[in-house]
Amino acid sequence: MAQSYSFTNTTTLGDNSSTTMLNTAPTLTVSRSTADPITKSINMTGILAVNFIAGMNAILQSATLPSGTATLLFLNSQPGVVNLSLDNGGTIGGLSIYLLQFGAPALFQWSGTNLS
């Protein structure tokens, strides 16, 4: 006799990782050579994930962040310091300057003023 099983409120293994999001969501890869200024202004129009491959001060353009309940992924995938801030003076994770650690993805949602 065949039995039927149902799973609810589960996650699909492999589909909830930062790697999966980087490969499936609209992603911006941000780099910087040593000849470039250390501060970059980041336009987030249509972007849900940002992969930093160099240390920098990244100022996110708040007017270009997606409204609604979109989850945004930020990843520092190369050794180096990435300082995130908003051009509107808002906070990221409760901080005016959020230190994005190497190898530690950060997920945030936009409130219209802050990323939390």
Residue 23's pLDDT band, with cuts at 50, 70 and 90, is confident
pLDDT computed for residue 109 by the predictor: 94
Q: Is residue 6 over pLDDT 70?
A: no
The pTM (predicted TM-score) of the whole model is 0.84
At a CB cut-off of 8 Å and minimum separation 6, what does 92 contact?
60, 84, 85, 86, 98, 108, 114, 115, 116
pLDDT tens for residues 28-44? 999 999 899 999 999 99
